[in-house]
Amino acid sequence: MIKKNIGTVSVVTSLLIAAGVLVGCQGMEQGSGQKASANLESRSGSKTTGEVNFVSQGKDVLVTGKFSGLKPNSEHGFHVHEKGDCSSADATSAGGHFNPDGKPHGSPGSGAHHAGDMPNIKTDAAGNATYSAKLHGFTVNTGPNGIVGKSVVVHRDPDDYKSQPAGNSGPRIACGLIKS
């Protein structure tokens, strides 16, 4: 009887360990906890700078940021762009919006939109902004929907979420490479 109970305990323990490994692997597939960041530098003659952080939370990504040098009491388009290249003076080297699924431009959370479409940045009376949004459609890695190695861009004007292909948000005034 004792041997049988010890065997049962061993089998149960083995099953629990296997289940824990499986759950752990599922979390890794969804990207839980993966992090990346970007330091934004001024472009197009602006004085805009900022820092953006990306943290995977299951199938979502928490995007947070701090920005300065923006127009006071205004909104600014904010997007992940397809290329990790901010070398040109106007940041056009970053390419278009990150759009691995070929969807039309739109508002995140309401219908079809580019994976790189994010809510506008809203500034205070001093032209500073703190940003936080929980988004989905991209991952914090280098996979097909991954943003690591891409760029993040702040635009001069607000995104209207309607105009194609980029929301009529004007010149690119800050750009940064997304790194893990």
Residue 11, both tokens? 């089998």
Q: Where are the domains of the chain?
A: 1-30, 35-177
Band the pLDDT of 75: cuts 50, 70, 90: very high
Q: Is the pTM of this model over 0.85?
A: no
Q: Is 76 a catalytic residue?
A: no
In the predicted model, is pLDDT for residue 28 greater than 60?
no
Q: Is 117 a catalytic residue?
A: yes
Q: Give the least confident one: 19-33, 60-74, 119-133, 152-166.
A: 19-33
Catalytic residue among 76, 113, 117, 156: 117
Query: Rounded to whole angstroms, how far apart are CA atoms 154 and 76?
Result: 7
CATH superfamily of 35-177: Superoxide dismutase, copper/zinc binding domain (2.60.40.200)
Query: Rounded to whole angstroms, how far apart are CA atoms 123 and 128?
Result: 5
What mean pLDDT is reported for the chain?
A: 86
Q: Is 105 a catalytic residue?
A: yes
First to last CA, the chain: 55
Query: Rounded to whole angstroms, how far apart are CA atoms 104 and 111?
Result: 10
Catalytic residue among 105, 113, 156, 159: 105
Beta-carbon contacts of residue 69 (< 8 Å; ≥ 6 apart): 42, 46, 47, 48, 49, 127, 174
Catalytic residue among 43, 76, 81, 156: 81
In the predicted model, is pLDDT for residue 30 greater than 60?
no
Q: Is 43 a catalytic residue?
A: no
What mean pLDDT do residues 120-126 have?
Answer: 98
Q: C-alpha dihedral over 135, 137, 138, 139, to 10 degrees? A: 80
Label residues 142-173 b or e (16+ Cβ within 10 Å = b).
eeeebbbebbbbbbbbbbebeeeebbebeebb
Catalytic residue among 43, 76, 79, 113: 79
DSSP 8-state symbol, 146: B
What mean pLDDT do residues 89-99 have?
Answer: 96
Question: Is 66 within 8 Å of 130 (Cβ atoms)?
Answer: yes
Q: Is 114 a catalytic residue?
A: yes
Q: Is 79 a catalytic residue?
A: yes
Q: Is 113 a catalytic residue?
A: no
